[in-house]
Amino acid sequence: MKLLLDFEPCKECKTMMSELSSPEIIFGDEKTRSDESAKFLRHLTYNHNEVVQAVMEDLPKQKKDQEPDFYQ
How far is the CA of 1 from the CAs of 15, 37, 39, 55, 70, in angstroms?
A: 24, 15, 19, 12, 24
Domain count, the chain: 1
Burial call 44-62: b when 16+ CB within 10 Å, e when fewer: beeebeebeebeeeeeeee
- Domain assignment present for 59: yes
Q: pTM value?
A: 0.67
> Looking at the domain assignment, is residue 3 inside a domain?
no
Question: Residue 33 belongs to what domain range?
Answer: 11-64
Report helix angle 49-66 to 30-47, nearest 10: 110
Each residue's pLDDT tens digit in the chain (72 positions)? 566 777 889 999 999 999 999 999 999 899 999 999 999 989 988 998 888 887 787 776 655 556 666 665
At 39 the pLDDT is 94
Task: Say if 53 falls within a structural domain.
Answer: yes
Contact between 7 and 50 under an 8 Å Cβ cutoff? The reply is yes
